[in-house]
Amino acid sequence: MSKSKPEVGIVMGSDSDWPVVQNAVKTLEEFGLASEVRVISAHRTPALACDYASTASKRGLKIIIAAAGGAAHLGGVLAAHTILPVIGIPVKGGALNGMDALLATLQMPSGIPVATVTLGSAGPVNAAVLAAQILATGRPALARRLVSYKKKLQKKVARGNETVQKALET
């Protein structure tokens, strides 16, 4: 992890979410963004969740990413206690395979947004990319990294198209 001061706080409801969440940390590192990572549960440690979000801005954080599964109230509880942008990652698993987490993270009441990313492997990556995009305003070096990242995605699609065209020719 980068040694610079964390700008992104990543919170997960349980250490069982770590296999998903670690991909958000890795993606932020690709953009040179430092994060701090905590396990805090909206249900099992509610006072800690409140304290974390209430002090986040004062501690220098600019964005919070919250990952949780099941009755996933973590993003919403954190968003209730800060005006920092909160990005929610619904974590797959359990009896409803993540649909519960998706809706619980997404369906926030008016005035308390949680920017919810997709279930599955794209979720932690998109949470990190969205955080980088929010932070890139007025930061040309970070903006350049994002442009280069998107160009790599475009090249991948172009290569994929070539592969399919070749397969059709044979």
Give the C-alpha separation, 88 to 114, whole Å.
6
Find the helix or strand (DSSP H, E) in which 89 lies: strand 86-91
Nearer to ligand RP5, 14 or 118 (CB): 14
DSSP 68: E
Give yes or no for residue 118 binding ligand RP5 (CB under 6 A). no
Among 23, 41, 57, 133, interactor with ligand RP5 by CB under 6 A: 41
Nearer to ligand RP5, 7 or 126 (CB): 126
Site for ligand RP5 contains 75 (CB under 6 A): no
CA dihedral sign of residues 31, 143, 38, 92: negative
- Residue 114 binds ligand RP5, judged by CB under 6 A: no
Task: Give the closest residue to 6 by CA, choosing from 36, 49, 46, 47.
Answer: 36
We find the least distance from the C-beta atom of residue 115 to ligand RP5, in angstroms, to be 18
Interacting residues toward ligand RP5 by CB under 6 A: 13-14, 16-17, 41, 68-70, 91
